A and B are shown apart, each in its own frame.
Chain A
């Protein structure tokens, strides 16, 4: 479904992605973790070309992102992206946030799009908020709407960039629950997150990034029980310590 082959990316002199090789199969749930600044966001942002790659090959859903003639908008329509800061459209109601893209891109009628949106709102537990505006919602509610907005396009892949990092602790659970349900429904997901409980429960694979490289790649049991690299051990100790 997603294949990185020797991918490099630079921000000026900064080598943010250094020889990334990664293959994510359909239906797989992959959690990406690692220290701040290690390139996790950049990695998942290359998948829908929010950050273009500089070198190597990146194939997503059969489309080659290094090819000029690839229709990027078409590719993006197949990939849902959930941001740390939610990024809901503040001037549109919850319902319109969700129906905009299906109506403009999939040419759905308002009725079809709204029916689908309402079903998704039900799924994320926010049916009663259909006419609310984003500023009237809590962070956890906004993030669940953002997930519904991504799902409205019937994506083949869902990408999450630290979806719970901007949330108050008491709201993290409700968002993770929606993501767990989604994972169990068979969605292909890549999740940048330090929520190790989520990783342990539903992910198939954990990827540990450091300085722009994939340092470690293992099923969760293995990753938690005996991480191979010192950096990963250090990181796990920090993240799992009672201080967190």
Chain B
């Protein structure tokens, strides 16, 4: 008992909160939340990079393609992207699509659009002299991008990336509306079962979300420091 609250509902269901029915059943809870976040994170990093590079390409068609995708997605609420994927993907790909993958695709599409803007801004923010120096030595524009511009741009983007990832971790909670048993869904289930402790349950998952996001932010600070350019002594 803490301040009149009874957290035994949490301790009684601890493993269910963290891993769902795993290993007897599918992974759920915090484990599934992290899984959804990390997989979508990796995929939207790639998606954001591709869309971002297209948007600074010298080819007009590529620029047009990326801006169409980006503008369309940015004009939609995430919830709608999830619904679209939920109904559209099985129709397109058959029933092989699990609900978890539906969420991953939706989150990836959505986050890629925002990440691509970060990538574009990062690339455009590198002084023109860097590209000029690189191509003056005979490197192609692609090589200049790969060896000179992107490595510098990516470092500058780390804080914005982490922002985006932290919102994505929280966005995974929307997966509960299509029945994916991630943390929020599990909390809702337990709450529906016991009916007596909503405050305790939702305080607990709030703390969990906070801890995960906090850990990611700290990780990025550490990464930033490690990658900082050697400063003058």
Contacts and interface: CB of A to CB of B under 8 A. Distances in A.
B132 A87 contact: yes
A81 B136 contact: yes
B87 interface: no
B133 A83 contact: yes
B13 interface: no
B129 A91 contact: no
Interface residues of A, number: 29
A103 to B, nearest CB: 10
Nearest to A134: B229
Interface stretch (B69-77, B144-152, B174-182, B208-216): B144-152
A120 interface: no
B155 A76 contact: no
A105 B139 contact: yes
A59 B122 CA distance: 37
Given A90-B229, A135-B231, A76 B138 contact: yes
A107 interface: no
A50 B138 contact: no
Contacts of B148: 89
B58 interface: no
B213 to A, nearest CB: 29
Interface in A77-126: 77-81, 83, 85, 87-91, 100-101, 104-105
B137 A101 contact: yes
B229 A50 contact: no
Contacts of A74: 138
Contacts of A73: 135, 138-140
A102 to B, nearest CB: 9
A89 B133 contact: yes
Nearest to B128: A87
Interface in B123-178: 127, 129-130, 132-140, 143, 147-148, 151-152, 155
Contacts of A48: 136
A91 B136 contact: no
A79 B136 CA distance: 7
B5 interface: no
A155 to B, nearest CB: 9
A87 B130 contact: yes
Given A89-B130, A135-B232, A105 B152 contact: no
Contacts, number: 73
Nearest to A97: B133
B230 A76 contact: no
A199 interface: no
B195 interface: no
A105 B132 contact: no
Interface in B217-233: 229-233
Contact of A153 (B135, B137, B155, B230): B137
A48 B140 CA distance: 13
B127 to A, nearest CB: 8
A212 interface: no
A105 B137 contact: yes
B118 to A, nearest CB: 18
Contacts of B233: 136
A133 interface: yes
A76 B137 CA distance: 6
A135 B152 CA distance: 14
Interface string A168-210: 0000000000000000000000000000000000000000000
Contacts of B136: 48, 50, 76, 79-81, 150
B110 to A, nearest CB: 31
B129 A87 contact: yes
Contacts of B134: 89
Interface string B9-40: 00000000000000000000000000000000
Interface of B: 127, 129-130, 132-140, 143, 147-148, 151-152, 155, 229-233
Given A79-B136, A81-B136, A104-B147, 9 more contacts: A50-B135, A50-B136, A76-B136, A81-B133, A85-B129, A87-B132, A88-B133, A133-B230, A136-B231
27 contacts: A48-B136, A73-B139, A73-B140, A76-B135, A76-B136, A77-B137, A77-B138, A81-B132, A83-B129, A87-B127, A87-B133, A89-B133, A89-B148, A90-B152, A90-B229, A91-B155, A101-B137, A104-B139, A104-B143, A105-B138, A133-B230, A135-B231, A136-B230, A136-B231, A136-B232, A136-B233, A150-B137
